Amino acid sequence: MKSLRIFIALLAALPAFSHAALNVFACEPEWGALARELGGEAVTVYTATTAMQDPHRIEARPSLIAQTRRANLVVCTGAELEIGWLPLLLRESGNADVQPGRPGYFEASRYVALLDKPTIIDRSQGDVHASGNPHIQTDPRNIARVGAALALRLAEVDPGNAAAYQARWKAFATRWDAAIARWQAQAAPLKGMPVVVQHKSFTYLIHWLGLREVATLEPKPGIEPSVGYLAEVAARLKTTPAKAVLRAAYQSPRASEWLAERTDIPAVALPFTVGGAAGADDLFGLFDVTLADLLKVAR
């Protein structure tokens, strides 16, 4: 009888432990960083991937299932970016709170107008994302949009700390506004700068800063370029020159360096997300480094 009472007491104490901090499972580093900004001490953030990993291709590892099981809130990009692994994590976790449609499941791409919506949804077009380009974090204004929604969601999932989340969001938004204004002023010389991208990773960045995307190294999304195709791109760049070949930190340098060697257009690895380069340790650093890298080649 005594052991039963101890068991019940422990059972009663369990939610108290789990409420000590809200467990946030972030699919990508940018959302992990954002959750940390808005949650502060009230949240424990686990980031499932690093900037050196391709978010399209993550293995549904047992460690990720274990973390999904413990999560109170799952924060992911959506728009099919994680389609190869997240559904499996959610299914295998046995965690009802974070299933799609529940407050514990948050898709960042729902709060942003997506670009690059394909007109033909067919695999012959490569790795198409039917709902649009999912790499929304390369535009800081999208971070603000997602942040506003995430602050509300945090409050919904953890009402006890609602005021704290709102206060942190306000403080973050103020700093973020100022930063955006600063970045936009810094980026003035970048307007109209022609660039080549390896994958359609930077559509939102390009859109934000008014860069001009003159070529993509992948013939189709997710399809690696052949040497023949690269040569074609190189030939085209003779007539429409570009200032840089951009790739994300996790991407293989092979294609962009091949092109850089033959065309004298510098290959630039942008951090793409938090942790993608020295200095890009948080969201502010991410854009500081990105702009510094771009400004270097603009001259």
- Which 22-81 residues touch another protein, going by CB under 8 A? 49-50, 52-54, 57, 59-63, 65-67, 69-70, 78-81
Residue 59 region by backbone torsions, left for phi larger than 0, else alpha for psi between -120 and 50, else beta: beta
Give the shortest CB-41-to-another protein separation in angstroms: 20
Give the shortest CB-148-to-another protein separation in angstroms: 6
Q: Residue 112, interface with another protein (CB under 8 A)?
A: yes
Q: Residue 11, interface with another protein (CB under 8 A)?
A: yes
CA atoms of 254 and 274, how far apart (whole Å): 23
| Nearer to another protein among residue 276 and residue 285 (C-beta) | 276
Comparing CA positions, the residue from 278, 21, 27 lying closest to residue 146 is: 27
Comparing CA positions, the residue from 137, 72, 138 lying closest to residue 108 is: 137
- Name beta bridge partners: 47: 26
Strand order in the sheet with 194-197: 212-216, 194-197, 244-248, 267-270
| Nearer to another protein among residue 57 and residue 296 (C-beta) | 57
| Nearer to another protein among residue 225 and residue 263 (C-beta) | 225
133 and 139 in contact (C-beta within 8 Å)?
no
Q: Residue 175, interface with another protein (CB under 8 A)?
A: no
Name the one range near another protein by CB under 8 A: 24-32, 159-167, 194-202, 231-239.
Answer: 159-167
Name the one range near another protein by CB under 8 A: 185-193, 194-202, 225-233, 291-299.
Answer: 185-193
| Nearer to another protein among residue 72 and residue 263 (C-beta) | 72
- Roughly how many angstroms between the first and final C-alpha of the chain, as a whole number? 78
CA atoms of 50 and 95, how far apart (whole Å): 24
Q: Residue 180, interface with another protein (CB under 8 A)?
A: yes
Q: Residue 2, interface with another protein (CB under 8 A)?
A: no
